[in-house]
Structure 1
Amino acid sequence: MQTADSIVIIPTYNEKENIENIIRAVFGLEKEFHILVIEDGSPDGTAAIVRRLQGEFPERLFMIERKGKLGLGTAYITGFKWAIEHHYDYIFEMDADFSHNPNDLPRLYDACAKEGYDVAIGSRYISGVNVVNWPMGRVLMSYFASKYVRFVTGLKIHDTTAGFKCYRREVLETIPLDHIRFKGYAFQIEMKFTAYKCGFKIKEVPVIFINRELGTSKMSGGIFGEAMLGVIQLKLDSWFKHYPKRKQS
């Protein structure tokens, strides 16, 4: 029996060092959240850890196992569709590695559930640069990438590449998920841009981003390059594309 209105989607690949701790941290919050793990065939045994924890949290922890690394975007879209089918009202994106602090989940929830926003973004750059333990080169690359995306797209968002978010279900029901083209880092930009073009209200909630301590980062310069070129294509396509509009309440 579903008792929560919120579900946190966590994609995983080789996260055995983090997955149990992040699940317990989310379930330890005062507000009840459910978790859906999208597991992309990790050879390190991540799925086995999740299956063991499902025995402890049978009504709160769910997992979809896929056959291999199919991309961040497809993982989230798979999770979005599952969450919509199971009638969750608030659907979150979060990393497994504690770079996104579980204690910030209620703040993102409040922005949507209590303040009336449609999308809440855990923003590293809304109040300065709140990034801990990143090499300076990566901080600068990420910060100026967001500036570049703002310039090209016209998005009034400081952290355009953020991956810590809460969506109201209506947003994901309105966006044509099967037409989201990007599968890697640019997926995060495309989802924000599409929500903006559909007329949804977006709020940035300041968070502190802490680089992972355990496991291996999935980020690379090539992923960033794809995003930067993809932004230009996204803007060009928007001149000719029809975006569905949010329903007027």
Structure 2
Amino acid sequence: MSHSGQQRRYEPLGTVLVIIPTYNEADNIQSVVGRVRSAVPEAHVLIADDNSPDGTGKIADELAADDEHIQVLHRRGKEGLGVAYLAGFKWGIEHGYGVLVEMDADGSHQPEELPRLLTALKGADLALGSRWVPGGRIVNWPKHREFISRGGSTYSRLLLDVPIRDLTGGYRAFRKETLEGLGMDAVASQGYCFQVDLAHRAYRAGYHVVEVPITFVERERGDSKMSRDIFAEALWRVTAWGVSRRVKKLLGHRHT
């Protein structure tokens, strides 16, 4: 799904870093990290903890002390998912990782599906775990959540004119070179906007983006990080991007 992709020869992937941002995930982090280590034993894990008051950071430190494949990035406080991922990406690139993976801490992204994303990435620049392509599923979601998420992706896709079915999903594997080419400092870092902006930028830059069907499982423990404010901000920003793009296109036509 790009303007190129099939003709290119791709370099070997290199070492994989799975970035797992946490805020109050003490109930979930040990299980998820254990599943990642079982699913892709050669991968490394970076837990990016936003100074969780429930002791998630301490649990993360204990996991790292027992396993040299696990690292912890302690952050000052809660700044949001996008900011945590951007810090994780920078850390991973600085430490020489070839692939950087986004994964939720709550088990909604199944680590057992990571090998499929990595296999797809061997012939792509970015592999997206997708709920809305054939074979993708969601489990335990109320209908209104599905409507909001599916509708948000469809709205973003149409307005931004990007043929990606799941623009808002957060289970993704990037080649290091893709992230370096996207200009991360300019990426909108809040909520759903972060995921939409990264995928949109990758497609616009001509990177080869593939969608891999995943089964998204609603968290069983803890609170969802999704809020009405985050969704409203995403809607507003996507609308602004879409309108701006159309205005530029219109002005471009007038000058030709």
Equivalence map 1:75-224=2 (5 Å): 75-113=84-122, 116-127=123-134, 130-224=137-231
Which runs of no fewer than 5 residues in structure 2 stay unpaired?
A: 1-13, 250-256
Cα offset for 1:92? 0.2
Q: Could you tell me how far apart the structure 2 residues matched to 1:46 and 1:92 are?
A: 20
CA distance in 2 between counterparts of 1:75 and 1:236 reads 29
Residue 27 (structure 2) pairs with residue 17 (structure 1): yes
Tell me, yes or no, if structure 1 residue 38 matches structure 2 residue 48.
yes
**Equivalents in 1 of 2:225, 2:181: separation in Å?**
30
Would the aligned equivalents of 2:21 and 2:48 in 1 still touch at CA under 8 Å?
A: yes
Instruction: Tell which structure's C-alpha radius of gyration is larger.
Output: 2
1: CA distance, partners of 2:149 / 2:126: 21
The residue number in structure 1 matching 2:252 is none
Distance (whole Å) between structure 1 residues aligned to residue 63 and residue 157 of structure 2: 41
Q: CA deviation at 1:133?
A: 0.5
Which deviations, in whole Å up to 9, do the C-alpha atoms of 1:30-81 show, x marking residues without a partner? 5411001110010000000011111110x21111111111111111110111
Cα distance per residue 1:163-191 (max 9 Å; x no partner): 00000111111111111133222110000
Describe the shift of the 1:77–1:30 C-alpha distance in structure 2 as closer, same or farther (beyond 3 A): closer
Residue 86 of structure 1 deviates from its aligned partner by: 1.1
Q: Normalising by the residue count of structure 2, what TM-score does the alignment of the two structures yield? A: 0.88
CA distance in 2, matches of 1:80, 1:215: 25
- CA RMSD in angstroms comes to 1.6
TM-score in terms of structure 1 length: 0.90
Whether the 8 Å CA contact 2:126–2:209 is kept in 1: the answer is yes
| Aligned-pair CA distance for 1:207 | 0.5
One-letter amino acid of the structure 2 residue matched with residue 7 of structure 1: L
What fraction of aligned residue pairs are identical, expressed as a percent?
A: 43
**Aligned to 1:145, what secondary structure does the other structure show?**
helix
Please name the residue that 1:246 is paired with.
none
Using the TM superposition, give the Cα deviation of residue 235 of structure 1 relative to its aligned residue in structure 2, in angstroms: 2.8
Q: Secondary structure at the match of 2:39?
A: coil
Q: How many residues align?
A: 235
Q: Equivalent residue of 1:42, what SS?
A: coil
- Is the Cα–Cα contact under 8 Å of residues 136 and 214 in structure 2 kept in the other structure? no
Q: Give the AA of the match of 2:23.
A: Y
Cα offset, 1:130, TM superposition: 1.2
Q: How far off is 1:147 after superposition? A: 0.7
CA distances 1:96-155 after superposition (whole Å, capped 9, x unpaired): 011000011111001112xx1111011000016611111111111111111101110011
Equivalent position SS for 2:191: coil
Q: How far off is 1:233 after superposition?
A: 2.0
Distance 1:220 1:49 in 2: 26
